[in-house]
Amino acid sequence: MKKNNNLLEIPNINSKDAKFKDLIYDVDDYLFNENNSSMKGFQHLCVCSGGTTSSCAKNGLTTLDLRKNYNKIHLDLESNSVTIGGGVIMGDLINHLQKNNRSFPIGLSKLPGAGYILTGGVSPLSRTYGLAIDNIESIKCFLGNGTFISLKKNQINPEKQLIWEAIKGAAPFFSIVTEIELKTIQSNPIKVIEGFVNLNELSEIIQLSEKFPENISLQWIYAQKIYIYVFAELKKNLEDKITEEYLMPLDKFPALEKKIHESFNKITFFPKELNLYELNPNNHSEVISLLGEDLKNDIPIFIKCLNEIMDNKPNNSCYVASQQLGCKTKKLNHGSSFFVHRKSTWKPWIYASWEKHDLHEKKVVMEWMYNSWNKLKSFYPNIHLAQLHNHLNSHEEELTLAFGNRINELKTLKKIFDPQGILPPL
């Protein structure tokens, strides 16, 4: 096992600043050895697949960085499936696929690693192709007790069925995933209608979006101003004519611009004009992601609530944003994954940020995040656990709201397959 105490160069500033104990690159018996003196007394192992989460490195803990030795990408040109290592960055994945006119439903950022897939994976393409976990064909991983397993869709023994389902949505708690085989999709042109809008316009656009067909989705962010993306996949058939009919009402909003992109792989979300602070080296942050169904008649009440939240934000680094799910994400794989909230249409998230050495500002910002969450619960009662918050007081509630009636199954798997608590705690 290789060790290194150099800085962990990752996008998440919280983790980058952590004074971690050791940095290792290989999954081997050393990790799971009960007599391993260097691991005794440690809380748990942090795993870095892309480095966008505050859980990939922590003070005094050991980090397993998969990006160095588990970063291979192989596209099978016959089946159009792609096999990736557990440390592959989503931007590298779609750049590789583009060479053969293929793509994959990654999220709004190209920075995350395989953790994006394993915790669900919400994409602007999800309404057509499902969540990222819905596109998993096979998986190779080590359970927390050191057991290596290889699972392939439609070839799973009944005794491993629960493991297969739990890996799709809850993998970080009991397994280290080293390889994933994924279905890829045809790379089609994308029409994006984007620009700044006001609150009243956002309200109208949300109302329009809840009637969109599956190839159109809405993403919005409310930072210092509100910016929206209406995203439409074009397939050069009758569907495109229907798409234009749904997009036509957006012509009334003067600030919105239409752009045609060669493929999803070519799109960069969130322009510099938004002045977002994610990569500010002076800031630390926390993110909490919610899930809920169509707003319908509650849109005006939601907009009023959103306005109150943003009026009370403690600094310009904080924001609220949202992605649209639905259609295929509601239909695919019911009961066959630990992403249990299949009725969800919206995934909003609250981004809370503060100057990293200012403990008072951190307290104020975190209070704002929790107050904002409480205000949004009536619209979005559930959690998408894209970030692990075992260091926060809200962790237990988040687990319950993320996994619902499957939380006890997850706790059982944790006891059986991670008895030493090698991996992040429940």
Residues 239, 371, single domain; the answer is yes
DSSP labels for 47-111? EESSS-STTS--TT-EEEETTTTS--EEE-TTT-EEEEETT--HHHHHHHHHTTTEE----S-S-
Number of Cβ within a 10 Å radius of residue 60 = 11
pLDDT given for residue 32 in this prediction: 83
Is residue 107 domain-shared with residue 182, that is, in the same domain?
Answer: yes
In this prediction, residue 216 carries a pLDDT of 97
One domain for residues 357 and 214: yes
Please give the C-alpha separations between residue 231 and each of 98, 246, 260, in angstroms, as whole numbers: 19, 12, 10
Q: Same domain, yes or no, for 54 and 83?
A: no
Look at residue 250 and tell me if it is in a domain: yes
**Helix boundaries (H) for 332-421:** 359-376, 395-403, 407-417
Residue 208 and residue 132 share a domain: no
Q: Are residues 170 and 182 in the same domain?
A: yes
Domain boundary among 15, 49, 65: 65
102-119 pLDDT, tens digit each:
999 999 999 999 999 999
- Residue 417 belongs to a domain: no
Please report whether residue 127 resides in a domain: yes
Q: Average pLDDT by consecutive 10-residue portion of the chain (426 residues)?
A: 61 90 89 61 83 91 94 97 97 96 95 95 96 96 95 92 96 96 96 96 98 97 94 82 92 94 87 70 94 98 98 95 95 82 97 94 97 98 94 94 96 95 91
Neighbours of 389 (CB within 10 A): 21
Same domain, 288 and 394: yes
Q: What is the CATH number of the domain that holds 323?
A: 3.40.462.20
Question: Is the domain of 182 the same as that of 194?
Answer: no
Report the domain count for the chain. Answer: 3
Task: Examine residue 409 and state whether it is found in any structural domain, yes or no.
Answer: no
Residues 220 and 304 in one domain: yes
- The reply to whether 145 falls in a domain is yes
* Structural tokens at position 213: 């067909």
Mapped onto helix, strand or coil, the DSSP state of residue 242 is: helix
pLDDT reported for residue 3 = 47
In a domain, 416, yes or no: no
Helix or strand or coil: residue 350? Answer: strand
* Tally of CA atoms within 13 A in the half-sphere of 406 that contains its CB: 20
Closest to 414 (Cα-Cα) out of 177, 179, 180, 172: 172
Residue 222 and residue 210 share a domain: yes
The range of the structural domain enclosing residue 396 comes to 190-404
Which is nearest to 134 in space by CA: 94, 165, 90?
165
Q: Are residues 323 and 311 in the same domain?
A: yes
The confidence score (pLDDT) of residue 274 equals 74
The answer to whether residue 246 is domain-embedded is yes
Produce one character per residue of 335-360: b if its CB has 16 or more CB atoms within 10 Å, e if not: eebbbbbbebbbbbbbbbbbbbeeee
Q: Rounded distance, CA 47 to CA 53, Å?
A: 10
**How high is the pLDDT of residue 265?**
87
* Residue finishing a domain among 130, 152, 186: 186
**Tens-digit pLDDT profile for residues 309-350:** 999 999 999 999 999 999 999 987 666 999 999 999 999 999
Domain for residue 264, yes or no?
yes
Q: For the domain that residue 111 is a member of, what is the CATH number?
A: 3.30.465.10
Same domain, 199 and 176: no
Of 65, 92, 115, at which residue does a domain stop? 65
